Chains A and B, each alone.
Chain A
Amino acid sequence: MANNIKLSHMSHWKTVPYKQIDNFRDYYYEDKSNACYYQDWDRILRYHKATGYDGIELAPWDLAEILGLFGTPAEFTAFAKDHGIEVSGMFHGCDDSHIPEKHDEVVAAGKAAVDTLKAFGGKHLNTCPGNNFYGNGPLDDAGLRTIASCLDEIGAYAEANGIQIGIHNEFFCVTNKENHRQLIELTDPRCVHYCLDTAQVVLMGDDVIDFYETYKDRICTFHWKDTADLGVPDEIRYAKDVEICDDGHRWFWEPGEGLLPMEELWKHVAAYGFKGWVTIEDDGSPDYLAAMALSSYYMKQVLGKIYW
């Protein structure tokens, strides 16, 4: 395989409470279940390497525990490197970015996230541009410009520190079907990039192929995942607390398990000659180890035959 693509995995494992379990056999015998297989970073990182990943994208809500276990970002990064894994990036949320009075606070939080990611040695700060639509949308042009100004400032700071911020829109986000492209146009292409979450864009009702072709120059990385819901109605996307469904319905599936035209999209990625990190995001899976393996197989054995 060629080496244009590096495969990462977004860390949706909830708190991993141990750095390393040395007494694995004894610990297993305490309840003779598979729980101990999912409780230390040593094994979680081994699973990344064993299933074909080169990187991990960190979740900011895990940082307090990670730093508690490792002491410093550099210690975690070195530990991951020992397992053959790099930190590819980190997620970040720009809550309240549409509120002018919150501008300085939002930018400060964004810059702090850049500093954190830099300390972990990552590259991509994949950034949700704002709050949920419910309770905040629809936005007018002024609201969009307020978000864009936050992103521009964080982006400029990021570029100066070797980090790329990429807008990561969610299907329930305040910037949505009607204006998410407008937000991209309002931001500075020199320092605000785009993280294409393949499922989120389709859930919003956009055409992922057309979106890619339109913004391929801005797309710096991907959250690659599938969905079986092509265009979720406004009344659902704009409702309260829609990310997790009451009945257990899943918005997201492992690549190849949903309905997205993955191979067609990948051919466009190949034609453009994209080089860089592609991150599998399997939120919603009941079994992350199986999801990691399934996703990696699809990326390398199905899409990898087209381009890698």
Chain B
Amino acid sequence: MKYCFSTEVVDLDNQAPNRNKRESKYFWDELNHLMAAGGFTRIEIPYEPKWDFGGRSGIPRTLRSVTTKWETCEKYLAFLKENGIDGIDCVHLNPSLFCQGMLPVYFGASGHYGEEAIQFAAEMGCKSVTLSVTPPYFRVKALLGGEIREEEFLKETKALVEKLAASAKEKGLTLCLKNEFWGLLRGDKITAFLNELEGDVKLDLDTANLRIAGADVKAVLEANKGRIGIVHFTDTNFVDTDETWKTALPEFPAKRPTKVFTDLGEGSVDFAGIKAALEAAGYDGPVVLSPRNSNDISRSILRTAWFVKNL
């Protein structure tokens, strides 16, 4: 397995003690050393334009940030190499941020920043760029005026994905789709959607998200054998018994506060079985290690190192 470590370990959105330092460049510069010390020399970057709007260019998660601080992606890559990180395997865009206001704004902004994320991924030497295929159910419902018109929304989603896939292909990248447990294409619904797409679009197999959505991860893998573009190892103990996935903040179950995602090895996903199934399917791409219980980032890095050592 070729592992890479996701800098999504750093949660910028939610309140936590000492959260503010995560907006300064020095924090991210040091993070490279921490990841390298944990044995991780290749990384994933979540592409988050949200921080561009506030001028938070110390957070290296967009083309604007990187070019503001390092002028070019090439210089940023050289900086990473000098600081223990050999390269970037994957860039992930979650366009949920744009799911507010009006439908055309969502698809327009998702298209714009999707193209930008693809450009960023290409300049960073990635082979894959992955897109959260829909925003959360709750947000889509709010965007559509309180009524889920799934067919209409997915029709436009299909057009968006096919356009981005063509752009990615032009730049030598593969577009992958991540289907979080809170989205319209949760669980094994993604397979039928992928079957309908034109162009080269692959699946981002995200273990915890599939499991929380009630899917059999190995069955989804089998159904999409040959079109797995990237794999995310994420862990969980969460069982969604009361449709938390439909709520405003689905990663924070309102009725029963709990950590939906855990660090790797702290949950109950069958990674040994999934690893064996991936090897049997001939998957030889990167596996992104994404610990999601990130209040203590250094601890999460070392927990992940222990997880890999014992897998």
- Taking Cβ atoms with an 8 Å cutoff, the residues of A that contact B are 13-19, 21-23, 27, 30-31, 33-36, 38-40, 64-65, 68-69, 132, 240-248, 283-287
Interface residues of B in 3-44 (CB under 8 A from A): 12-21, 23-27
Q: How far is the CB of A181 from chain B (nearest CB, A)?
A: 25
User: With A31-B293, A69-B254 as given contacts, are A241 and B57 in contact (CB-CB < 8 Å)?
Assistant: yes
Contact of B55 among A36, A40, A243 (CB under 8 A): A243
Q: How far is the CB of B67 from chain A (nearest CB, A)?
A: 11
* B149 contacts the other chain (CB 8 A): no
The residue of chain A having its C-beta at the shortest distance from the C-beta of B12 within the complex is: A14
Contact of A35 among B17, B54, B56, B251 (CB under 8 A): B17
* B150 contacts the other chain (CB 8 A): no
Contact of A39 among B21, B24, B55, B257 (CB under 8 A): B257
Are A244 and B248 in touch, CB under 8 angstroms? Answer: no
Are B295 and A247 in touch, CB under 8 angstroms? Answer: no
* B298 contacts the other chain (CB 8 A): no
- Taking Cβ atoms with an 8 Å cutoff, the residues of B that contact A are 12-21, 23-27, 54-58, 68-69, 100, 138, 247-249, 251-252, 254, 256-259, 293, 295-296
User: With A132-B55, A246-B58 as given contacts, are A65 and B18 in contact (CB-CB < 8 Å)?
Assistant: no
Q: List the 7 closest pairs (A to B, CB-CB), nearest first.
A: A68-B248, A17-B252, A246-B25, A241-B55, A35-B295, A241-B57, A21-B257
A84–B45 CA distance with the chains assembled, in angstroms = 43
Find chain A residues with CB under 8 A from B248 CB: 65, 68-69
Find chain B residues with CB under 8 A from A241 CB: 55-58, 68
Known: A27-B257, A241-B55, A248-B21. 13 other contacts (CB 8 A): A13-B15, A14-B13, A15-B13, A18-B254, A31-B293, A33-B296, A36-B257, A65-B248, A68-B248, A68-B249, A241-B68, A246-B25, A248-B24
Find chain A residues with CB under 8 A from B251 CB: 17
Q: How far is the CB of A37 from chain B (nearest CB, A)?
A: 8
Q: Give the dominant DSSP class at B's interface.
A: loop
Contact of B18 among A27, A69, A286 (CB under 8 A): A286
- Count A/B pairs, Cβ under 8 Å: 98
User: With A15-B13, A241-B55, A284-B20 as given contacts, are A31 and B26 in contact (CB-CB < 8 Å)?
Assistant: no
Find chain A residues with CB under 8 A from B13 CB: 14-15
Find chain B residues with CB under 8 A from A36 CB: 257
Give me 18 A-to-B residue pairs in the complex whose CB atoms sit less than 8 angstroms apart, sorted by A's number: A13-B15, A14-B14, A15-B15, A16-B15, A31-B293, A33-B295, A39-B15, A40-B257, A64-B100, A65-B249, A69-B254, A241-B57, A241-B68, A244-B23, A247-B25, A248-B26, A286-B17, A286-B18
Are B14 and A15 in touch, CB under 8 angstroms? Answer: yes
Find chain A residues with CB under 8 A from B20 CB: 283-286
A133–B176 CA distance with the chains assembled, in angstroms = 39
Find chain A residues with CB under 8 A from B100 CB: 64
Are A246 and B295 in touch, CB under 8 angstroms? Answer: no
A244–B249 CA distance with the chains assembled, in angstroms = 28
A14–B68 CA distance with the chains assembled, in angstroms = 24
The residue of chain A having its C-beta at the shortest distance from the C-beta of B54 within the complex is: A243
A152–B160 CA distance with the chains assembled, in angstroms = 42
Q: How far is the CB of A289 from chain B (nearest CB, A)?
A: 8
A242–B58 CA distance with the chains assembled, in angstroms = 10
The residue of chain A having its C-beta at the shortest distance from the C-beta of B24 within the complex is: A248
Are B21 and A286 in touch, CB under 8 angstroms? Answer: yes
Are A247 and B24 in touch, CB under 8 angstroms? Answer: yes
A19–B20 CA distance with the chains assembled, in angstroms = 22
A16–B55 CA distance with the chains assembled, in angstroms = 22
Are A35 and B249 in touch, CB under 8 angstroms? Answer: no
Find chain A residues with CB under 8 A from B57 CB: 240-241
A171–B24 CA distance with the chains assembled, in angstroms = 18
A211–B170 CA distance with the chains assembled, in angstroms = 58
The residue of chain B having its C-beta at the shortest distance from the C-beta of A35 within the complex is: B295
A284–B251 CA distance with the chains assembled, in angstroms = 27
Find chain B residues with CB under 8 A from A68 CB: 138, 247-249
Contact of A34 among B17, B25, B55 (CB under 8 A): B17
Q: How far is the CB of A234 from chain B (nearest CB, A)?
A: 18
Are A27 and B258 in touch, CB under 8 angstroms? Answer: yes
Q: How far is the CB of A63 from chain B (nearest CB, A)?
A: 10
Q: How far is the CB of B55 from chain A (nearest CB, A)?
A: 4
Q: How far is the CB of A260 from chain B (nearest CB, A)?
A: 21
A241–B69 CA distance with the chains assembled, in angstroms = 10
Are A246 and B14 in touch, CB under 8 angstroms? Answer: no
Find chain B residues with CB under 8 A from A243 CB: 54-55
A253–B254 CA distance with the chains assembled, in angstroms = 34
User: With A31-B295, A240-B55, A244-B58 as given contacts, are A18 and B252 in contact (CB-CB < 8 Å)?
Assistant: yes
The residue of chain B having its C-beta at the shortest distance from the C-beta of A287 within the complex is: B17
User: With A64-B100, A65-B248 as given contacts, are A17 and B24 in contact (CB-CB < 8 Å)?
Assistant: no
Find chain A residues with CB under 8 A from B69 CB: 246
